[in-house]
Amino acid sequence: MKILDVLQTDTILPNLQARDKKGVLEELVAPVAAYTGIEARQLVRVLMDRERLGSTGIGGGIGIPHGKMERLTSLVLGVGISHQGVDFESLDGRPTRIFFLLMTPENSAGLHLKLLARISRLLKNDLFKEKLLAAADVEAIRAAIAEEERGLED
């Protein structure tokens, strides 16, 4: 499964404004809530519950907040870029700037893990991260992801 197969244009935020973890999550879920019809506060609650288990700020400026929700009928993916960086309680203690949000139905553990792994593989490439950070708009982010995915086998 490719990221662009599930990433909606409306859930890409090229200029996050929030300055803290909860604010970033609220900003990231707003378009997801509109897309799914699930209240944003419910999505944020699921994500904050997951964050209490351990930060999804994996280091290197990357955060992959994720959660499962019974009411979802399909997985939903969002991307956000924070140009100023946010304290996301990252494993390396550094500010987080690139966010991939993943919400999946409760009963889709395999799909959830597969997409998390794919996102993680993409984000190991420093040049790809630089392209995301330099992207001025939604289309530039989509183009960077498309180019990087062409280099990955499914």
Bridge partners, 136 (sequence order): none
Phi, psi of 78 (to 5 degrees): -135, 155
Residue with tokens 């409306």: 10
* Residue at 118: amino acid letter: R
Instruction: State how far the alpha carbon of 70 is from the alpha carbons of 15, 48, 67, 93, 141, in Å.
Output: 30, 16, 10, 32, 29
Catalytic residues: 66
Residue 85 C-alpha from the chain's centroid: 15
